[in-house]
Structure 1
Amino acid sequence: MKNKIGVGIGAALLGMFIGGAGVSTAWSIQLKGGAKTPAPQATQSGTDDAVARTEKVVQMLDDLYKTAIVAITKHYVNSPADLSAATASKVLFQALEDKGHMETRLLGFTDVLINGENAPRDAFEEKARDQLLAGAPSYQEVAEEDGKRYLRVATTVPVVMEKCVMCHANFRDKEGAIGALAYKMPVLE
C-alpha cells in the first residue's frame, strides 16, 4: 500500500510539472463558495537582496507544497481511511529538513486540532496565527539565531475542496485560514 501511495504521489508531482495532472497551482484553486484563494503577497522583511532571493524561494516552495496537497487530495484521498495529504506532505517537509535545507510545519488554527503537534509553538507562529486569522494572506519576519539569519514565513491554508471536510468535519463552513504552512529558511546570503 505504501509503495502504491508513494508512486502515486510521485506521479502526481511529476504530472504537475509536465502538465498531465490537470491541477493548477493551489493559489488558483476554487474555494467551496466559488471564490478563488488569493496569491500570497510577499512583504519585504528586509531591504537586502539576500532576503528578497529567499522570499522568492519560499514562495515557490509554498506554491509547490500547496499544489501537491491539493493534487494528492483530489486524486488519492477518497475516504477517511486513505493517507491524508497533510500526512504525505509532512514526509516532504521532513526530507528537506533532514537535508539541512529548511524547516516547514503545518499549523492548525481551528478550535479542534486533530494533531496537537500542529499547534503554534513559538512567538513567531503565535503572531503569524493572529495575523492570518485577522485576514492577512501571509506573515513573515527575519530572525537571527547563533549569528545566522533566517526568513520565517507563514502562509494561509484554507479549505479549498469538499474532500477536506471529509476527514476534518470541524472545518465545515469555516472561512479564511484554518491553518498555515510555516517556513524557517536560512537567508540565501
Structure 2
Amino acid sequence: MRKNKRLRIALLVCGGVVLLAVLTVVLLSVLLPKDEPTQPSQDSGTSSIRFYPPYDGDIRTAEIYTRLDRQFYLYDANYGSTDALSESAIDADPELRFLRAYFNCLIDGDAAGLRALLASDANGFTIPDFAQQMVYDMKVTRVGETEESGDLRVTYRLEYRIQRNNGTYRRDVGSDAMRPEYLTLTKDENGDFRIFDIRR
C-alpha cells in the first residue's frame, strides 16, 4: 500500500516537473525577442521574401555590419576589370562622389538626405522613410550617357547586398541577395548631380 502511494506521489512530482518545463519553454519562446526575419504583409507583393526588424543601434559600429566587405568597387565594362576605390579616387570624381553620398544615405537611414539628392524633375518616384541599411559588397558600373534637350543623363548600374534587410527601403530583394538597381543622374542648374530616375 505504501509502495503504491509513494509511486503515485513520484509520478505526480515527475508530471509536475515535466509540465513546468513545457510551460517554461513556451513562455520563453513568446517573451524573448527573436532575431529572425518577419513575414511581410500579404499585400506587399513580396510574400516569398522575409524581412528583419530594423536594427536597434548604430550599424556603423555594430560588429555584425563592420565585419562585412564595405569597400566601394568600380567595374569597368570596357576592360572587364573591377577596382577597389580609395576615398581620394572617389573624391576626385563628381559622379562617384555622388554615388557614395547615395550609399551613405542608405546606410544611415537618412531619407531626408536622399530626397535632397533628387532632381527637381525626378521621374515620378518617391523616397519612403526608411531605417538604416546594412549595405555591403557595393559595385557600380557606368552603363551609359545620353543627352536629352541639352541635359546630360548618366546611368549607373548599382549592385549591392543588404545584410538583415528590413524591407523599409527595398522590398524587392531579400537579405544578402543581389538585384541590380539603375540610377540615372542628371545635373541641376548649379551643375551638381542629382537623381533623375531609379529603376530596379
Normalised TM-score (structure 1): 0.38
Determine which structure has the larger strand proportion and give its number.
2
Larger of the two Rg values belongs to structure: 2
Which one scores higher on RCO, CA 8 angstroms, separation ≥ 6? 1
Determine which structure has the larger helix proportion and give its number.
1
